[in-house]
Amino acid sequence: GIQVEQSPPDLILQEGANSTLRCNFSDSVNNLQWFHQNPWGQLINLFYIPSGTKQNGRLSATTVATERYSLLYISSSQTTDSGVYFCAVASGGSNYKLTFGKGTLLTVNP
Partner 1 sequence: SQTIHQWPATLVQPVGSPLSLECTVEGTSNPNLYWYRQAAGRGLQLLFYSVGIGQISSEVPQNLSASRPQDRQFILSSKKLLLSDSGFYLCAWSASYTGELFFGEGSRLTVL
Interacting residues with partner 1 (CB under 8 A): 30-31, 33, 35, 41-45, 48, 84, 86, 88, 90, 94-98, 100, 102-103, 105
Instruction: Look at residues 41, 32, 13 and name the one whose alpha carbon lies nearest to residue 70.
Output: 32
CA–CA gap between residue 36 and residue 39 (Å, rounded): 10
Q: Closest approach of Cβ 95 to partner 1, in Å?
A: 3
Nearer to partner 1, 4 or 108 (CB): 4
Q: Closest approach of Cβ 8 to partner 1, in Å?
A: 13
Counting every residue written for the chain, the total comes to: 110
